[in-house]
Structures are given as structure tokens and as C-alpha cells.
Amino acid sequence: MLLCDATASVGQELSKGALLYTNPMATKADMNGWRMEGTGETVFENGWMRMFSPNKKGHHVYWCPQQMPANFIAEWEAQHVEDDAGLCIVFFAASGEKGQDIFDASLPPRDGTFTQYTKGEINNYHISYYANGKDDPGRLTANLRKNKGFHLVQTGQAGIPIHSLDVHRIKLVKWNGHIELFVDERKVIDWVDDGLALGKILEGGRIGFRQMKWTNFAYRNFSVWECLKE
């Protein structure tokens, strides 16, 4: 496990290339093609998509319909609707163990149960950028893990403040094995996968938003660009 050094970065050497995907997430029609796993539901209010589990029944993951390349820059806005509890994760570079799409018929179905994403038959990275779960309240770090295996590879700075109801801008940068995540331009994760200690560097795959069942968050303006090195 490595602590994030908030001063170290190669982010200034990277830039946005071609726009690969953009979605305002403002209406139900905007989300055509997205796939929900688990008991999550969405409603659309004032230009935002709000995601939650009715009666806090279960955890859930919402997957973008487009496969992303090995190198990308993704941005979105997020806002906590209820600040009593919750946990937000972004999965990325998600693919089957043999490199197949995570929705390939050869893979078992998933229902939001965490171990299916961290110790099952898919590989991915994930970052928890808001963490105030009822099972672990008040956590003041963003954590990066590599799966499968649930390997904690970096404990970062605090992500979205626990009781903040402000709008926050999230930026995720992946250049091969180098991963950075920013909250409101403040870097909270900066880690390089060497492709050796925990297996090969994960390349292209899907991006998904996961929430624990207590979470009530709103999202908008999700965009992904090709990442270029200057």
C-alpha cells in the first residue's frame, strides 16, 4: 500500500485528444444503453441524474455503454443529495479475465455484490472517491484498488468531503499504468502500475459507477477524451 504524494504528477505532460464519449446525463433518454446491475434506480431532476436504491435495498453498478481505450481522461460532476451515509466508486479498465467484454455471455451475471467485481471473473481498477458507509463511517481517504484480488495499491487524500452538498468536479486520468484522480483539481490519487507485482497493466475496458445501498448521489456531464502525451 502506498500513500499518495500530492506533489508528484506527470499530469502536466498529458492532454485531451479526441472526444470519445459525452453525456449530459440530464434525461432518461440520455442514458439509453447504460446497464444497471443490482437494485439501483435513476430519476432526473434539474439537469441531473440521481441514482439510489429504493428503501436502501442493495448495492448497484451503472455501466457506460462504450468501451474505453487504455489511455483516457474522464470527467464528471457529482453532488451528494443526502449526507447521512454513502460510498461512491468508479470502476475502469474493466474487462473479462480473457480480455472479453464484461457483458460477454461466457461470464456469470452480476447483481451489485462487491466480490463479483473484486474477486470474480472480471479485472478492473477502482477508486472510492467518497466514503462514508454505514459499515465504515467517516473514512477520510480515497482508495485505489486493483482487481481481481481487491489489492489496495494506494491510500490517497480525502475525496469528496463527507458532509459536503456542493457540486464537485471529478477527473480520472489513465495513461497506461499511470492513474490519477482529482476532485475539484485537487489530486487525491497518483499511482503507477508497474505491470509486475500484481500482474499485467490493465488496458481498455468499461467504466462504471458503483454506489453502496445507502448512497443518494446525483451525476451530470460525463465525458471521456483520448489521453495524449505531449
The angle formed by the CA atoms of residues 204, 205 and 209, to the nearest 5 degrees, is 135
- What is the assigned CATH class of domain 24-220? mainly beta
Please report the beta strands in 133-200, taking only residues with DSSP state E, as ranges in sequence order: 143-147, 151-155, 167-175, 178-183, 186-192
**Residue 174 pLDDT > 50, yes or no?**
yes
Q: Which of 200, 170, 229, 202 is nearest to 10 (CA)?
A: 229
pLDDT in tens, 83-122: 788 999 999 999 999 999 999 999 999 999 999 999 999 9
Q: Compute CA distances 15 → 12, 165, 216, whole Å.
A: 8, 30, 32
Which range (5-9, 53-57, 220-224) has the least confidence? 5-9
**Cis, bond preceding 134 (omega within 30 deg of 0):** no
Rounded to two decimals, the pTM is 0.93
Q: What percent of the chain has pLDDT over 70?
A: 95
Strands 143-147 and 122-132: antiparallel
Mean pLDDT of the chain: 93
DSSP secondary-structure letter at 163?
T
